Structure 1
Amino acid sequence: MAVREIVAGMPWWVKWIALPVVALVVFGGLIASVVGFVIGLLFKVLILVALVGGLVYAVRKFTSSSSRGGW
């Protein structure tokens, strides 16, 4: 008997409510850790982009002022 045949004989609420809830209970910790990892990674990428952008801005500002005879 295939899984599709077993699920086909069940009521709609088992297919669309009970099975997803059971899957979330079983894999909830894994899903939460993956989502947390992805959000943390995106935050670190955002921080990296901000720092690199600030560094580029500072270097351009410094080099433009020094080329006009600043230091």
Structure 2
Amino acid sequence: MREIFMGLPWWVKWIAVPVIALVVFGGLIASVVGFVIGLLFKVLVFVALVGGLIYVVRKFTSSSTSRGDW
């Protein structure tokens, strides 16, 4: 593989080959990146909802116990 690229100009190795790879695998790369970003967003929403639920439950349980003390 190295011998194949040795005789080629620099612009073929560093510009043409990556551009061809992006054209061929661009859809796959975009779908994987989109999936990962979507998954991270869903995890962030899940963490926010669970954190909000824990906050609300602790708020109401602490206020209900303080009312019971009265």
TM-score, normalized by the shorter chain, greater than 0.5: yes
TM-score of the superposed pair, with normalisation by structure 2? 0.94
How many residues align? The count is 68
Post-superposition offset of 1:27:
0.3
| 1:69 to partner: Cα distance | 1.7
Name the amino acid aligned to 2:19: V
Question: What TM-score does the superposition give when structure 1 sets the normalisation length?
Answer: 0.92
Percent sequence identity over matched residues? 81
- Computed over aligned residues only, the root mean square deviation of the Cα atoms, in angstroms, reads 0.9
Question: 2-side partners of 1:54 and 1:8: how far apart?
Answer: 59
* Partners of 2:67 and 2:38 in 1: CA distance: 44
Q: Which residue of 1 aligns with 2:48?
A: 50
Residue 9 of structure 2: aligned partner: 11
Q: Structure 1 unaligned runs (5+)?
A: none
